[in-house]
A = this chain, B = another copy of it.
Amino acid sequence: MQTVGELGEAGVLARILARLSPAAAATVGPGDDCAVLTSAGDIVVTTDTMIEGPDFRLAWHDGFDLGWKLAATNLSDVAAMGATPTALTVALACPKSTPVALLEEISRGLSAACAELAPGCGVVGGDLGQAPVLTAAVTALGDLEGRAPVLRSGARPGDVVAYSGTLGLAGMGLALLFERSADDAGVAHSDGLAELRSSHGAELAAQFAPRSPIAGGRAASAAGATAMMDVSDGLALDAARLARASRVEVRLSGELLEAGFGAQQGVVVPLRAMLEGGEDHGLLATFPAGAALPAGFLPIGEVGEAGVVGEAGVVGEAVNSTDDPALGSLSVNGETYAPGGWDPYNKLTTLSS
């Protein structure tokens, strides 16, 4: 298998570029000092990195899925502003011993995710380098097309809370991988992977190649969404962040969650997985009461005032004990809920399925 060290930078670049599809907004694509994008108004920009070890394991993730997930995780941040994704830049670094074929597959996955989730968006530039482990930093750009951005801070008491996308499945997939395709120390191996793929295909697909509802972002904006965010670290943690940014209490309903997302693609999803499982990259949004929810969004709760007595008589507590509850809080079924969390330096969220 040819390695990147054997082929060299120019050769690797040619192989990658051959597998990338162009961006409709790019008047100058890869090959100059910068790409040039047409823009009619305000743009949005976000960046997200995936690093072998903490973020993915080559024993589990194949190149195509990695490329797909790299695109999807960034595209969903663009969608969460109510914008239409226009372009990605991709910085890849890897050991000299990395097979060229792996980078080719990543490129194919990036293009496929753009084609399916965000038609017209493509890779407009990048960078190649050497690193001890495979490292991929993606920046995504989007066009607001004249709309105002939908921020995390716009939720108002009385709004409906809604969600679109898979919920909990990706976290269940990760938990299954740790249970059945890792040793006692948590080191990934590929034993049991083929069996998992056939017995738990939905959970693994959600974990490996999330199908984020990208077009739902601008649809939510058009439908009057007051706040929106990408759910990457778990619904509870991200809903608590939205609550704090908006200085409201986000009141999630277990009943609505069960009704909407308790069974997905034939899989029973427990409430705890819906609340704590990360990496689904769906969209959490709030809408004025009575608004018609766009396709894909289902109601999961409502917005209340921060720091006041909730339905079940429990005063909303803040996510972080040093916070003032008046700064925003989360409740589930009327009880204050303290979400688990993801910290890249200290914690790996796992869920029993």
Contact = CB atoms under 8 A, between A and B. Distances in A.
A48 B127 contact: yes
A145 to B, nearest CB: 12
A34 interface: yes
Nearest to A87: B45
Interface stretch (A2-10, A165-173, A191-199, A253-261): A2-10
A117 to B, nearest CB: 16
Nearest to A48: B127
B128 A344 contact: yes
Given A89-B139, A132-B53, A344-B130, A43 B36 contact: yes
Contacts of A132: 53, 131-133
B137 A45 contact: no
Contacts of A46: 33-35, 89, 125
Given A129-B344, A343-B9, A346-B8, A35 B45 contact: yes
Interface string A85-102: 001011101001000000
A151 B93 contact: no
A298 interface: no
A150 B228 CA distance: 38
Interface stretch (A75-83, A175-183, A202-210, A300-308): A75-83
A346 B128 CA distance: 12
Contact of A345 (B35, B130, B133): B130
Interface in A10-46: 10, 12, 27-28, 31-39, 41-46
Nearest to A148: B36
Contacts of A131: 51, 53-54, 131-133, 135
Interface of A: 4-5, 8-10, 12, 27-28, 31-39, 41-49, 51, 53-55, 77-78, 80-81, 83, 87, 89-91, 93, 96, 124-133, 135, 137, 139-142, 144, 149, 151-153, 228-230, 245, 343-346
Counted per complex, copies of this chain come to 2
Contacts of A133: 131-132
A42 B38 contact: yes
Given A43-B43, A47-B90, A135-B137, 18 more contacts: A5-B345, A9-B345, A9-B346, A28-B149, A31-B245, A32-B229, A33-B46, A34-B142, A36-B42, A36-B149, A45-B139, A47-B125, A47-B137, A51-B131, A53-B131, A54-B129, A93-B135, A137-B137
